[in-house]
Amino acid sequence: MSTTEMALTAHLVVTGDVGERSDLVRAASKKLHGEFGIEHTTLQLETESEARDCKQQSPRVI
């Protein structure tokens, strides 16, 4: 990575059974690259209950 590449670190909240989580992360990374040009993503999946307990949760959830 360099200062000219866009990168993103995020937590994704999943509901219910999401099946194969690696497929979900791969699809999200592909969409972020295609729509926003983000070259490098670090994505962590969380359940709704885990997300509720997050002390760093932003009020700007998208």
**Counting runs of H as helices and runs of E as strands, what totals does the chain give?**
2, 2
User: What CATH number is associated with residue 11?
Assistant: 3.30.429
Which residue in 17, 46, 42, 15 sits closest to 28, CA to CA?
42
Domain-embedded: residue 39 = yes
Q: Identify the pLDDT of residue 32.
A: 94
How confident is residue 1, by pLDDT bands cut at 50, 70 and 90? low
Q: Identify the pLDDT of residue 53.
A: 73
Domain-embedded: residue 2 = no
User: Six-digit token pair at 62?
Assistant: 């998208």
Domain-embedded: residue 1 = no
Domain-embedded: residue 62 = no
Task: State how many domains the chain has.
Answer: 1
Residue with tokens 């999943």: 14
Parallel, antiparallel or unpaired: strands 7-14 and 40-47: parallel
pLDDT tens-digit series, residues 3-43: 778 899 988 888 877 677 888 899 999 999 999 999 999 99
Q: What is the pTM of this model?
A: 0.70
Domain-embedded: residue 45 = yes
How far apart (Å, rounded) are the C-alpha atoms in residues 19 and 52?
Answer: 22
Q: Identify the pLDDT of residue 61.
A: 63
Residue 22 domain boundaries: 7-52
Q: Identify the pLDDT of residue 5.
A: 82
